[in-house]
Amino acid sequence: MPSPIVMISSYPPRLCGIATFCEEAREFIQKHNPDRDVLVISHTDGEGDGVYPLIDMSQRDWWRPVAAKIRQLQPYVIHIEHEYGLYEYHDSRGAGDGNEGFLALLDAISEFPIIVEPHTVHGRLTEFEANFLYKLAQRAHVVLFKCHYQKWRLDWNFHGRGWETPRNIMVVPHGARPDRRWAVSEVPKLREELGLNNVKTLGPHLVGLIGWIQSNKRWDILTSMWEEIAKTIEEKTGQDWDLLAAGAMRDINHKADYEKYKHEVDILEGKGLAHYYEFVPRGEQYYKMMAVCDFVVLPSTDETQSGTLARIIAMNKPFITTAPMEGLTAQTLESGGGLLFTNKEMLREHVVHLACDEGLRMRLGNNLERYLDEVVSWDVVAEQYNEAYSRANSAVKIKKPVVLPMEF
């Protein structure tokens, strides 16, 4: 049996966007590498076949058991999903180590090909972020960014500090499933399956607010205007449009905003204008909730890239999102599948416009279908991962760093 691909990441059942990302990525990496096992070293709450729950962040030297397991497995490549919070050790005072343990892990496993996929790379880096990315790029053989703007902005960030820009950065977009698309004719059946047909006040046309309910996912921006918007749409089209707000809270620190957002939806529901649907946003049900909507609004106020947007794209659903907002704006422009707003009036106008123009919804949906098939499908992304694995292996064998072209 050829040596395995080993991923290091949080993993389900943890309610974590990176965990869900790793689960999907692993599925398609395995599909495109049928001769190799794809194994996962996770935090202690990870579970499943081929999953080793070894990362104990209560220990300063959490990385030592991980490095020992890596040496035992002798992997073909190590593919690490990185988010600062996943690998931050806090001492008895609550002081963090600045991800020093993560860098120590990379040093400890440096004889193997290492791919690191950071999920947070801002356009304007703090001093800490810039220093961390500099050290990361020195230790990893290939670093995967999600968006092209992150790569050329890194050059700007590093050049301004008088630093040499790393040349081992490869752009691989956030993957999206190509196999969860339902035809319009199947939507009534999905509504029945989800129990939405039991909501007598829910109209035939739905605008979705779907996903994890967090403080930065500002549902209240749309709910505060929805009554007026629904009335305007009905006056223009004679159609009954309702708001479907569906998701769940995953972080107790966001409880106050969760309760506020839900309360505002409850008020609208009492007027027959909306419906709140509680569910854990992962698995097939996440996609089904997207599928029953005519389009989706993603009013995020802090995001570099979004698993929610990946699911919107997977369903070819036209969308409206905030700008300028890092990866959300980049993917909206690149896909041609959504509309951007910078203030409440723009959001109001876009929602009304999209609801009243079926042709526009079709064009945006068709653009997303092309973008999915050609750019962000997990089948496309998995092959790009394989290219990165090959480059990293070559670098280890010939003992020369990976050198990739600059973005601009």
Q: What is the mean pLDDT of the chain?
A: 96
* Helix boundaries (H) for 277-377: 284-291, 307-314, 326-335, 344-356, 358-371
Rounded-to-integer distance, Cα 393 and Cα 111, Å: 10
Provide φ and ψ at 337, rounded to 5°: -110, 5
Rounded-to-integer distance, Cα 146 and Cα 321, Å: 18
272-276 contact pairs (CB < 8 A, 24+): 272/201, 272/242, 273/201, 273/226, 273/227, 273/230, 273/242, 273/243, 274/223, 274/226, 274/242, 274/243, 274/244, 274/245, 275/196, 275/199, 275/201, 275/202, 275/242, 275/243, 275/244, 275/245, 276/245, 276/246
For residue 213, the SS3 value is coil
Give me the pLDDT at residue 313, please: 97
Given a cut of 80, is residue 303 above it in pLDDT? no
Give me the pLDDT at residue 216, please: 87
Q: Amino acid identity, residue 364?
A: L
Given a cut of 90, is residue 304 above it in pLDDT? no
Give me the pLDDT at residue 396, please: 97
> Does 258 or 320 have the greater pLDDT score?
320
Please identify which residue in the block is written with the tokens 């829910």. Answer: 202
pLDDT tens readout for residues 38-77: 999 999 999 999 999 999 999 999 999 999 999 999 999 9
Give me the pLDDT at residue 305, please: 60
- Residue 330 neighbours by CB under 8 Å, 6+ apart: 147, 148, 149
pLDDT tens readout for residues 338-354: 999 999 999 999 999 99
Give me the pLDDT at residue 122, please: 94
Given a cut of 90, is residue 1 above it in pLDDT? no
Please identify which residue in the block is written with the tokens 């890596």. Answer: 70
Give me the pLDDT at residue 250, please: 85
Q: Phi-psi category of 98—alpha, beta or left, where left has phi over 0 and alpha has psi -120 to 50?
A: left
Q: What is the pTM of this model?
A: 0.95
pLDDT tens readout for residues 201-240: 999 999 999 999 988 889 999 999 999 999 999 999 999 9
Domains 5-175+378-398 and 184-376 share a fold: yes
CATH superfamily placement of domain 5-175+378-398:
Glycogen Phosphorylase B; (3.40.50.2000)
Could you write out the three-class secondary structure of 247-293?
Answer: EECCCHHHHHHHHHHHHHHHHHHHCCCEEEEECCCCCHHHHHHHHCC
Q: Find out whether 306 and 323 touch, Cβ atoms under 8 Å.
A: no
pLDDT tens readout for residues 200-209: 899 999 999 9
Would you kindly state where each structural domain of the chain is located, as residue ranges? 5-175+378-398, 184-376
Give me the pLDDT at residue 42, please: 98
- Give percent of the chain with pLDDT exceeding 90: 93
Structurally, at CATH architecture level, domain 184-376 sits in: 3-Layer(aba) Sandwich (3.40)
Rounded-to-integer distance, Cα 61 and Cα 229, Å: 55
Q: Which two tokens stand for residue 27?
A: 């599925």
Give me the pLDDT at residue 251, please: 85
For residue 108, the SS3 value is helix
pLDDT tens readout for residues 242-260: 999 999 998 899 899 989 9
